[in-house]
Amino acid sequence: MASTTHAPTKPASERFAAAMAAVTRRLPGRLSTIVPPSLIGFALINGFTFGVDLALLTALRSWARLPLWLAITIAYCTAFALSYVLNRAFNFRSHAPVGPQLTKYAIVVAVNYFALILGLTTALSAVGLEYHLSRITAGLCEGVFMYCVLRWIVFRPSA
C-alpha cells in the first residue's frame, strides 16, 4: 500500500491573508494598488460581526423586550469581543502581547461605544429614525473609525 504525503497545511491566518490579497488584486482600476488587503479583511470580519450585532439587537429588543440601551450594549459587547479575536488572529495577524493591546482596544471600544454606537444610534432613534436604520448609520461611521484605529494604533506592526 502506497503512502500519500501531503504538504503541510498553511495556518488559517495565512490562508485568510492570501485570500484577502487575492481579492485586493482583483479590484478594478487603481483600487488594487490603493486598497490594502487588511481593509478587505476588516470589511469581511466586521461585516460578519455587525450581522451578529444586529441579530442579537433584534432578539434582545424585539423578543426579550430589553430597553434599547441595554440591548445595544449586550449586542455590541458580544460582537466586539468576536471582532477583536478575529481581527487579531486573521486580519492583522498580531503576535504582540495581548495585555497592552487589549487595554488599547478596550479604550477605543469605549470611545466608539459612547460616541457612535450608543450616542449616535440613540440620537437618530430619538429624532424618529427606525432603530435598525439608526444602528446601521452609526455602524458605517464606526467602521471608518475602527479600521483606522485598529490598523494604526491597536494592531500597529512593531518597528
Q: What is the CB neighbour count within 10 angstroms for residue 153?
A: 13
Instruction: Write the DSSP symbol of residue 64.
Output: S
Q: Which residues fall within 8 angstroms of residue 1, CB to CB, at 6 or more apart?
A: none
> For position 111, what pLDDT does the model report?
93
Rounded Cα distance between 153 and 27, Å, is 26
**Helix and strand totals (H; E) in the chain:** 7, 0
For the question of whether the overall pTM of this predicted structure is more than 0.85, the answer is no
Return the pLDDT at 142.
Answer: 87
Compute mean pLDDT per 10 residues along the chain, 159 residues long, and list them. 66 96 96 95 94 95 94 91 95 93 92 90 95 90 92 86
